[in-house]
Amino acid sequence: MEKPIEHYWQLRLEHLKTALEKNNFEVYLASRSEDAARIVTEDILPVIKPASMSWGGSRTFVECGLYRQLGAMDGVSVLDTYDTTISDTEKMERRRQALLVDVFFTSTNAVTESGHLVNLDMIGNRIAALTFGPKFVVVLIGRNKIVPDLENAWDRIKNYAAPVNTMRLEKKTPCQATSFCQDCSSPDRICNTWTITEKAFPKHRVKIILINADLGF
């Protein structure tokens, strides 16, 4: 068999797709990041026809090339929360306004094999949008985010995803120095609010693209 690793993950993603669909998510499969971007631009956006869009902090979103593509789209109002030319106050206001857009893009910190999305946020805008606000949410998920259950999701997030993100963002937290969660009280702490999304409501409001590649943290 050629590419047994890709085949292995394809089977895992197909099983996960079934579990997520039982939980009322609309699910697509992508063999690589470029295919995920194509699904967004050719399959999802032409159907929902958004007049406005925004996104939460997500390396997966950037690695798929969607930040560049969507930021340059004509005829759509874009609230760019990554804009480095604006003040922190304006960034926060954009995050607030992003909760009212037609479509919001994000990823997830972990997804369980039973089809639950698990997230831990600093500010809360990402998980707020996932829960309520935008008409639609598109969640891009690399195969590396899959975990067996909630306990493994918590461990992955606290002892891998969160420390790596503090390093990326150069936050002054103990885990940046040790790589382990210290349950700190640092002003830079990024672990503030947990969410577990068991089902999508209304049905198909949340659209998930499962990608057969390691993306994000």
Peptide bond into 134 cis (omega under 30): no
Query: Residue 76: which domain range?
Result: 4-148+193-211
Per-residue confidence (pLDDT) for residue 172, from 0 to 100: 94
For residue 170, pLDDT beyond 90: yes
Does any domain span residue 53? yes
**What is the pairing mode between strands 52-55 and 110-112?**
unpaired
For residue 45, pLDDT beyond 90: yes
Tens digit of pLDDT for each residue in 70-92?
Answer: 988 889 999 999 999 999 999 99
Please name the residue ranges forming H helices in 99-210: 125-131, 150-156, 162-169, 174-178
Q: Which two tokens stand for residue 23?
A: 């939980």
- CATH code: domain of residue 103: 3.40.50
pLDDT averaged over every residue in the chain: 96
Domain contains 72: yes
Locate the DSSP E strands across the chain: 26-30, 52-55, 77-79, 103-106, 110-112, 117-121, 136-142, 146-147, 193-197, 206-211
In a domain, 175, yes or no: no
Mean pLDDT, to the nearest integer, of 207-212?
98
Residue 109 in any domain: the answer is yes
pTM of the model: 0.96
Residue 99 scores a pLDDT above 90:
yes
pLDDT band at 65 (very low <50, low <70, confident <90, very high): very high
Q: Which two tokens stand for residue 173?
A: 């937290």
Q: What confidence score (pLDDT) does residue 211 get?
A: 98
Label residue 195 by pLDDT band (50, 70, 90): very high
Choose between 134 and 72: higher pLDDT: 134
Closest residue by Cα to residue 112 from 216, 8, 12, 213: 12
Q: Are 130 and 139 in contact (CB under 8 A)?
A: yes
